[in-house]
Structure 1
């Protein structure tokens, strides 16, 4: 792990009966992606309640929230749909969400 992880730290204040999030900064995205993929099917992670998630900026989080209905609908239709950073993609094509109030 010394060659894979740059830094690790906890987020927030320590409180009783509550776990804190831990931020892990990896040296390479490929290492992060490999570990992320392996933890999704890990019995130990499932039993211990460990999961990985991206630490998004508020703007990126809000952009994803706005696109989620389109992504969810595409997945229900059997299309390949997901996010890369703040951008949504359906079948490899970047999607845009119109501002509120626009048709």
Structure 2
């Protein structure tokens, strides 16, 4: 079985707190969702992943594909070569979702903005 470091009641409190802080979709996310809807149906917006407590921006739950629309707050400042790397919380979310069986696709804001203009 799975070993838990926190009792069930504390794990539930943590999950409840995560759900309570779920943000509304950004304009960027709405733009990506509209483009996706034009070519593919059957995805959910702000899908709550029950094993991790994370909200997935766009998800195909039956095939366990998540599309995360990553705005500027998901990245460190660009390095000397202009490369933007995901920050710690973003990497943690991706790893936990992958461990829960999800294929995570990232749509970085700087790539989307380049195509949208």
> What TM-score results when the alignment is normalised by the length of structure 1?
0.32
The structure with the largest helix share of the pair is 2
The higher radius of gyration belongs to 1
Scaled by the length of structure 2, the TM-score of the pair is: 0.29
Q: Which has the higher contact order (CA 8 A, sep 6+)?
A: 2
